[in-house]
Structure 1
Amino acid sequence: MPEDRAASAPATDTVETARAKMLAAVRPLTPEPVDITAAIGRTLAETLQAARSQPPFRSSAMDGYGVRAADLAQGPFTVLGEAQAGKAYPGIVGASGAVRVFTGAPVPEGVDVVVPQERARREGDRVWLEAPAPQRTNIRAAGIDFKAGEELVQRGTRLNARHVALIAAAGIGWLSVTRRPRIAVLATGNELVPPGTPAAADQMFDSVSFALLAMLEEWGGQPKRGAVLPDEAGAIAAATQQALEDADLVVIIGGASVGDYDLVKPALARLGLSIAVPRIAIRPGKPTWFGTLRGKPVLGLAGNPAAAMVCAHLFLRPLLEALLAREPDEAAATALLDGELAESGANECYWRALAWTDPDARMRVRPFTDQDTSLVSVFAAANALIRRPAGARAATSGEAVEVRWLDRG
């Protein structure tokens, strides 16, 4: 795995220590109410409990006739009325009485079995019933889905369509969710131009800021991308000041290494930047840094695409989850290595890789041969990262390795 440009500079924090320092600097955002129709993808701020049982009554599991089971050997039965979904039969069913019952309807008092209509022969208000064998009640108990007071969805859960269905079934129309974090994304570099605009022969299209926008949207944030900033301290400082006015977190891409045009930290130091994490013992992404400015967190990512995107998964996503008061999603697994890995040295290493399940239901993972951090195509083809701790020896095919999924929503 190629070293970052700043590989010769000392790295002061491990990945775990760096992440802990970052998370200590942020607090969950305030909750806000939303209509259930706007709940998808939002993070629940308060645990939801059922106000009533579901269903709130005994209900029929099929169309048929409700009777007393003790009377099944007798017959015929007298049909007293009917129970529909949303309209209960008001009386009590006694000996030799039957009520026409439809699926989902409340089961009348006195009834303890519903005989399917396929086992019924009716003439006027009389019906002959054939007891099912084996006998089944075909009655759903009250509260079979959930009971009043039962916890439905925990605080900190990111709501999906299944959660929305459960919340709606409980009759909850409004809920409290954490406000979506506003994330300012600033890219730096004289060589960058936005896609869709003309690029000179010595320029590159900005890919990282657009990748981060997509990631943040996918993870539940509210990102805002600024214009690409030139490698000028004044422009970097001015854009950061403006971003801090509205953003809950500022992410700055590039300008974090040790080159003549790596001006971000010096420019922000003049504004009062307090550095908590100067560098991280990680490959790729050693120049990644973190600090606070005017009480707000600022994350600096390396300019190389793979380094920035790997560290976005490792640091930006946990920061977003902390702002949302969301339970961390540690999507890790173990897989059999298909290929070779060099020793990791002093840094924790993350290899872009492709993981799959073989015909024997074993998880396998293959690292891409070229791990150059400038390659967007490799990251686009990957679905996982192979994590190798600092000091890990070289690994060969067949060994078990730790895998972290990239595509986890």
Structure 2
Amino acid sequence: MITVEEARGRILSALRPTPAEVVALAGAWNRVTAEPVVARLTQPPADVSAMDGYALRAADGTPHASLSVIGAAPAGHPFAGIVGAGQAVRLFTGSVVPAGADAVLLQEDATRDGDSVRVNEAVTGGRHIRRAGQDFAAGDAVIPAGRRLTARDIGLAAAANHPWLVVHRPPRVAILATGDEIALPGEPIPPGGIVSSNSHALAALVRAGGGEAIVLPVARDDDAAIGAVADQVLGMDMLVTTGGASVGDHDLVIAALQARGMTLDFWQIAMRPGKPLLFGQLGATPVLGLPGNPVSALVCAILFLLPALARLSGLAVAPPPVSAAVLGATVKANDQRADHLRATIVVESDGQLVVTPFPVQDSAMLRRLALADALVLRPPHAPALPAGARVEVIRLDSLGL
């Protein structure tokens, strides 16, 4: 068995980002930039007023001074003249500051009387003026390559005058559940059978990770049925299987896919839950084989599939983020496998995270995972710990799950 860290490293080293494509700005949210977004203009393009008021020379902005209003400059209609001594031009937020002016008299600090305006409060040179290029200049890389675009980024790209963006294509992930006992939700359940949750949970996780999920029909415990998936995953960026990768007589995934040309990189991880995890290559398609137990499948997906999706999407890849917490209950000593305890979190008044593992950690108890806030990380051979001891956790809300 290999470690979690080695397994993740070997998976990621075999993956490459998906090709780039050009998409309309309106469809670029949550996509990953394949190249920097470079500003096509300067913002603001000229010195503009940050407030409603009057443009004037700072030297004329003394209390009780009376200035002649020689024009107005609504946003989008710059004043063509020059502001001279004793003169002012009416401005509005976003108005271009006219030549000759170097200060703005706020509307609330002025009294207008026909073509004159009186200064009620002294003005300061340069105040309330947004300088040309204050936000960015033409040629600036305003968004780097390898960034998942937020709504804020979309606004910035629009301001930089980009109607189209170059982004990575979303990874296409085929999901295959295996087993004679499996029925999809709403289907008749065979004797001794179960309703499959893995395909739906993994499809949701793939979408949360920025990918496109293609759920394949359930493959029965038959070499031909499992092997036939090789013809269905052409053009996929990854095949994810669940079940059939353990050591029982009906765990046929490895042999069936090897018969269709899959090369096996590794099988079995020193972790709990999720020991029977495999990774290989079926032609050009990477294969990640997850356990059949629903909790094991999802924990492995958090540790391995989410980073894989990040790599395929063009993101910089790191393990799931870890937070510090203290235990709300005792935990027993660990064996040679890394453990990932499902747990709840309480945030105390001082901000301290108190994490309490569920007393039963069965890998088939999906409800416990749904109620969990975190996974408590227990290294191999970790000693027993009392309540109050410090531990590391993966917060599930930080992953958008």
Q: Give the TM-score normalised by the residue count of structure 1.
A: 0.93
> Which portions of structure 1, spanning 4 or more consecutive aligned residues, are displaced by more than 4 angstroms?
132-136
Where do 1:372-387 residues align within 5 Å? 372-387=362-377
Indicate if the aligned counterparts of 1:301 and 1:308 stay in contact, CA closer than 8 A. yes
Cα deviations across residues 209-247 of structure 1 (Å, max 9, x unaligned)?
100000001110011001111111110001x21222131
Name the CA distance, whole Å, in 2 between partners of 1:354 and 1:147: 48
Matched with 2:208 is 218
Once structures 1 and 2 are overlaid, which stretch shifts more, 398-407 or 143-152? 143-152
Structure 2: which amino acid aligns with 1:279? Q
Instruction: Report how many residues are paired.
Output: 397
Is it true that 1:120 corresponds to 2:127 in the alignment? no
In the alignment, is the contact (CA less than 8 A) between 1:243 and 1:250 conserved in 2? no
Is 1:157 the equivalent of 2:147?
yes
CA RMSD of aligned residues (A): 1.6
Please state if 1:278 is matched with 2:267: yes
Match of 2:76 in 1: 86
Aligned counterparts of 1:376 and 1:278: Cα–Cα separation in 2: 24
Residue 333 of structure 1 and its aligned partner are, at CA, apart by 0.9
1:130 alignment partner in structure 2: 120
**1:291 and 1:162 mapped to 2: Cα distance?**
38
> Cα distance, 1:327 vs. partner?
1.7
Name the residue aligned to 2:87.
97
The answer to whether the aligner puts 1:391 opposite 2:378 as a matched pair is no
Which residue of structure 2 aligns with residue 18 of structure 1? 7
Distance of aligned partners of 1:384 and 1:91 in 2 relative to their CA distance in 1, 3 Å threshold: same
User: Counterpart of 2:273 in structure 1: which amino acid?
Assistant: P
Quote the Cα distance in structure 2 between the aligned partners of 1:213 and 1:163: 26
Distance 1:182 1:321, change over 3 A: same
Deviation (angstroms), 1:147 = 3.1
1:245 and 2:254 aligned: no
Aligned residue type for 2:52:
D
Out of 386-395 and 144-153, give the one that drifted further: 144-153
Structure 1: runs of 5 or more not aligned: 1-10
Residues 115 and 130 in structure 1, CA contact (< 8 A), matched pair in contact too = no
Aligned equivalents of 1:381 and 1:26: distance in 2? 32
Deviation track 1:347-400 (CA, whole Å, cap 9, x = no partner) reads 111111122321111122111111100011011111211111112111221111
What whole-Å deviation, never above 9, does each CA across 1:318-363 have from its counterpart, x for those lacking one? Answer: 1111111212253211111111222221111111112232111112
Partner SS, residue 250 of structure 1? strand
C-alpha distance in structure 2 between counterparts of 1:72 and 1:138, whole Å: 14
Contact 1:189 1:228 in 2 (8 A): yes
Residues of 1 paired with 2:293 and 2:269: CA distance? Answer: 15
Quick check: 1:44–1:158 contact (8 Å CA) kept in 2?
yes
State the Cα distance separating 1:127 from its structure 2 match: 1.5
Paired with 1:116 and 1:276, the residues of 2 have a C-alpha distance of 70
Partner of 1:269: 258
Distance 1:309 1:37 in 2: 32
Structure 1 pair 295/134, CA: closer, same or farther in 2 (3 Å)? Answer: closer
- Which residue pairs with 2:35 in the alignment? 46
Say which SS state the counterpart of residue 9 (structure 2) adopts.
helix
> 1 CA distance for matches of 2:192 and 2:21?
47
Give the direction of change, closer, same or farther, for the CA distance of 1:53–1:135 in structure 2 (3 Å limit): closer
Task: Give the distance between the partners of 1:18 and 1:201, measured in 2 at CA.
Answer: 37
Runs of 5+ in structure 2 lacking a partner? Answer: none
The TM-score, its normalising length taken from structure 2, stands at 0.95
| 3-state SS in 2 of match to 1:404 | strand
2:73–2:95 contact (8 Å) kept in structure 1: yes
Correspondence 1:190 to 2:180:
yes
Q: Percent identity?
A: 43
Instruction: Give the distance between the partners of 1:169 and 1:389, measured in 2 at CA.
Output: 48
Tell me how far apart the structure 1 counterparts of residues 99 and 186 of structure 2 sit (CA, whole Å): 70
Q: Distance in 1 between the 2:255 and 2:313 partners?
A: 30
Find the counterpart in structure 2 of residue 326 from structure 1: 315
* Distance in 2 (alpha carbons) for counterparts of 1:387 and 1:142: 51
8 Å CA contact retained: 2:180, 2:221: yes
Q: Report the AA paired with residue 382 of structure 1.
A: A
Moved more, 248-257 or 354-363: 354-363
Choose from 173, 187, 192 the match for 1:202.
192
Task: Identify the match of residue 316 of structure 1 among 305, 324, 349.
Answer: 305
Aligned pair partner of 1:143 in 106, 127, 133: 133
Structure 2: distance between partners of 1:14 and 1:258: 19
Q: Which of 341, 346, 357 matches 2:347?
A: 357
Among candidates 179, 186, 197, match of residue 169 of structure 2: 179
Please give the alpha-carbon distance, in whole angstroms, between the structure 2 residues aligned to 1:391 and 1:202: 37
Give the residue type in structure 2 aligned to 1:96: G
Query: CA separation in 2, counterparts of 1:17 and 1:281?
Result: 10
Aligned residue identity for 2:329: G
Separation in 1 of the partners of 2:58 and 2:123?
13
1:182-215: CA deviation from partner (whole Å, max 9, x where unpaired) = 1100001111111122324522111011000000
